[in-house]
Amino acid sequence: MTPRRLLAALALMLSGCASAPQSYPSLAKRPIESAPVAEVAPPPTPQPADAALSAEIARYVEQADRGASAFDAAYAKADRLVGAARNAGVSSDAWVSAQVAISALESARNDSVSALASLDTLYVQQSNAVADGKAAGGVEDIDAARSAALALVDQQNDRIVALKARLPQP
């Protein structure tokens, strides 16, 4: 860099430091920051679901349990066929039979997945109704049933993934 350019760059940098003083905001506490905090009322106690909602929740829980039973019954066959196809080549008869059994297993859990979707929809509808003042309670009951159905579906997903991992992949 030539001395002339260096001197020009230095002058430019120093001119930025010599600008007029600016007034920056104070870091002192403002009046609103030292005002007393208002106490918030505790949330109302959750109300149980009414009889019709409880019956609907029970119907979906029963549907999820039926799906879990069907899944468990189909799992034994799928597990046996996957074990037989473990060392078989891709597209062999044993491998195709295992893939068909896994597909049947995914189909067998349809009731569980459907019940979970229905509970999700019911949860949203009931939450909106409670927020709008059209209904009172039941959201906690739906959430408990939904959590149980979600646990069933997650367990089924894990078992299917484990079966698929045991098979040779194309």
Average pLDDT of the residues of the chain: 87
- The pair of structure tokens assigned to 144 is 């408990």
Task: Kindly report, residue by residue over 73-98, the tens digit of the pLDDT.
Answer: 999 999 999 998 888 888 888 899 99
Which of 127, 135, 142, 125 is CA-nearest to residue 61? 142
Query: What contacts 66, CB < 8 A, 6 or more positions away?
Result: 111
Q: Is the pLDDT of residue 19 over 70?
A: no
Residue with tokens 């007029």: 20
Maximum Cα interatomic distance, the chain, rounded to a whole number of Å:
90
What would the pLDDT profile of 103-139 be if each residue is shown by its tens digit?
999 999 999 999 999 999 999 999 999 888 888 888 9
Token representation of residue 7: 């001197």
CB of 156 within 8 A of CB of 140?
Answer: no
Contact 146, 123 (CB under 8 A): yes
Domain ranges of the chain: 58-166
**CA of 157: how far to CAs of 1, 17, 48, 144, 160, in Å?**
66, 64, 31, 20, 5
Give how far Cα 57 sits from Cα of 49, 141, 166, Å: 9, 8, 37
Identify the CA nearest to 69 among candidates 113, 118, 108, 115. Answer: 108
CA 54 from centroid of its chain's CA atoms:
25
Q: What is the pTM of this model?
A: 0.69
For Cα atoms 56, 51, 152, give the angle at the middle one, nearest 5 degrees.
35
